[in-house]
Amino acid sequence: MSDTHNPGAAAAAPDSRRWLALFILLIANFMNLIDVTIVNVALPSMREGLGATDSQIEWVIAAYILAFALGLLPFGRLGDILGRTTLFLWGVAGFTAASALCGLAPNIEFLIIARIIQGLAGAMMTPQVLAIATVTFPPHERGQAFSLFGLSAGLASVCGPILGGVLISANLFGLSWQPIFLVNVPIGIAAVIAGWYLIPRLPGHAGMSNDYVGIGLFGLGILAVVFPIVEGRAYGWPLWAFAMIAAGVVLLAVFLLWTRRRAAAGQPQLLNYDLISNRQFAFGAFVVTVFASGIPGMFMVISLLLQGGFNFTPLESGLTNTPFSVGVLIASVIAGRFGARYLRARLALAGALLSFGIAWLHFYIAGVTDSIDHWAFLPPLLIAGIGLGLGFSSLFQLVLANVPPRDAGAGSGALQAFQQVGGALGVAIIGEIFFTNLGNSFAAGGTPHAAFASASSLALWYVVGSFALVLLLSPLFKGPKAGPGRGGVPVQPALVEA
């Protein structure tokens, strides 16, 4: 829809269809977020049905997270250039098509490629969502509109594992895991058609440009680090794996030098150099990466433990994981009431709750023998979920609190990218620990129960360590500076796998 009114009139009379447009944005966002939480429940079924190797099953998760991470910043900029509504609709269409490809995948290689496309499409539509809502709604309605995004994220977190279990257990049309992707197709088609008519057309700025060299350097650098961590075990950790990691570090260093050069010349940068050179932001980006690295890999391990080691159905596995999502939802509601108060204390408490909850889970799993009690997962996962819900909101606010208002939007997008990079690294590291110990346990003659329990409990030590590190680092953050606009840009950290 083209705005035919003058700017003053548009400000005085907001578009009458803005709430319907918001509903479309929420539906697309919900579709993306629920896909993040639903896949873990299906991993054992995918592994069996497609004959996937250990590293291939890791890539089902890591490929999506990595593509999403690498696409967030450049597609955010591309939305400024081409128009956010246009890019949003293309993103929803691409996500829908990629979901169909995932559901129709004849082999694991095809599925991984489709997941990459799905991640890129998700990154294409996600940065546009809040930007469109910000422009569409007048200031006095934005708080109510943004609160609905938090609600939809919480619902996606809770519904994802359960819906995944229901769809797989129902075995619709003789399909196993495929419906978890195919269910997106009619929803996505409806969202594109409705969005075409209801979402205001936001013009782009054709004179702007993207940093394509920076995109290439950053993407290749991250991929060069993550790829050998996932694949190194399968090849016996050859020399090329370590050389590739070293090359990735060099590429990332070159990316920083390139970004500094672009900044000095006054040219657009993929990641604003003012942010990179801001010590508080750089420190915060590191903590965000560490904080986000634990959960995606943890739920990959738990799903494989329950279904592969103890013959849980996908629905039983999803229900067992649900207390974590409930904890996230509860904490998100509580955290919203605190605003920007007690941020460092809240982050420290989050690190403590997560470390305690996952350590509790570790010791329980380490002690299981021939059976496992799903009720034993409820207290530690609920505590850890509350910790995650408290942690993300306070961590993002802490990092952005000392970022100048002019860089707050770019900082928010960059933090979400670092969050996804952390998730991909965590899947690779936790997967390496889990599958290596699983293979060793089977080689030593261990039973499936003992092998899966031993490998899972060892992998959880990484998760405990990552959150303990966040707890230790939380006092090093500077307190928020006074003044309006500090860290005030709405952020919506993407859901982690539950």
* 442-462 confidence digits (pLDDT tens): 888 888 899 999 999 999 999
Say how many C-beta atoms besides its own lie within 10 A of residue 7's C-beta: 8
Q: Is 329 helix (H, G, I), strand (E, B) or coil?
A: helix
CATH topology for 272-498? Answer: Growth Hormone; Chain: A; (1.20.1250)
50 to each of 56, 57, 313, how far by Cα in Å?
10, 10, 18
**Residue 462's CB: how many other CB atoms inside 10 A?**
21
> Which amino acid is present at 166?
V
pLDDT at residue 409, as a whole number: 66
Distance of alpha carbon 53 from alpha carbon 153, whole angstroms: 32
DSSP string, 374-388: GGGGHHHHHHHHHHH
pLDDT at 332: 78
pLDDT of 262 reads 93
Residue whose C-alpha is closest to residue 434's, from 408, 420, 455, 465: 455
Give the mean pLDDT per block of 10 residues along the chain (498 residues). 44 72 88 82 90 91 91 86 90 96 95 95 88 80 73 77 87 86 93 91 77 92 91 87 95 94 90 86 92 91 92 91 89 76 90 96 92 94 93 84 71 84 91 92 88 95 96 86 46 46
Residue 459 and residue 297: Cα distance in Å, rounded?
Answer: 9
Determine the pLDDT at residue 1: 40
- Return the number of other C-beta atoms located less than 10 Å from residue 243's C-beta: 12
The burial class, CB within 10 Å (0-12 / 13-18 / 19+), for 145 is buried
Measured CA to CA, the distance from residue 156 to residue 161 in angstroms comes to: 9
Whole-angstrom Cα distance, residue 264 to residue 269? 10
- Find tokens 């092998």 and name the residue: 451
Q: Is 16 helix (H, G, I), strand (E, B) or coil?
A: coil
Cα 288-291-295 angle, rounded to 5 deg: 130
DSSP 370: S
pLDDT digit string, tens, across residues 45-72: 999 899 999 889 999 999 999 999 888 8
Q: Which one, of 32, 61, 216, 49, lies nearest residue 124 by Cα?
A: 32
Distance CA 248, CA 246 (A): 5
CA–CA gap between residue 391 and residue 294 (Å, rounded): 13
pTM of the model: 0.86
Q: Which CATH number fits domain 12-209: 1.25.40.10, 1.20.1250.20, 1.10.10.10, 3.40.50.280?
A: 1.20.1250.20
